[in-house]
Amino acid sequence: RKEVEQDPGPFNVPEGATVAFNCTYSNSASQSFFWYRQDCRKEPKLLMSVYSSGNEDGRFTAQLNRASQYISLLIRDSKLSDSATYLCVEEGGTYKYIFGTGTRLKVLA
């Protein structure tokens, strides 16, 4: 069983919509989680870290649900430029970063 699981999508949403992705993880002891964004044929870049208390950065909100072992990413007021693949990452131990396969988002005009 893969340790970090994501719905591959694609999620096709109109501009201005709100969209949410979930990512499940299997190691209940994991402490740190992240969302990275990867544009087509580019390298991943950190979008935001996920804290136990939740984390908000502009239109983006990340949350952690330890009881159900998932993290979520909410994007409000989607822009065309939000089109990308969003990678969920779990820090499963020292230097052990487990990447999900990504959820593809397409924002349509």
Positions touching another protein (CB under 8 A) are 4, 31-32, 34, 42-46, 49, 87, 91, 94-97, 99-102
Minimum CB–partner distance for residue 77 and another protein (Å): 25
Residue owning tokens 């593809």: 104
C-beta closer to another protein: residue 30 or 83: 30
Taking Cα atoms as reference points, which of 40, 59, 42, 48 lies closest to residue 23? 48
C-beta closer to another protein: residue 22 or 49: 49
Minimum CB–partner distance for residue 75 and another protein (Å): 20
Give the other-Cβ count within 10 Å of 50's Cβ. 23
Contact 99, 89 (CB under 8 A): yes
C-beta closer to another protein: residue 82 or 90: 90
Which pair of tokens denotes residue 99?
């990447």
Residue 63 to residue 26: CA distance in whole angstroms:
16
C-beta closer to another protein: residue 59 or 96: 96
Minimum CB–partner distance for residue 17 and another protein (Å): 26
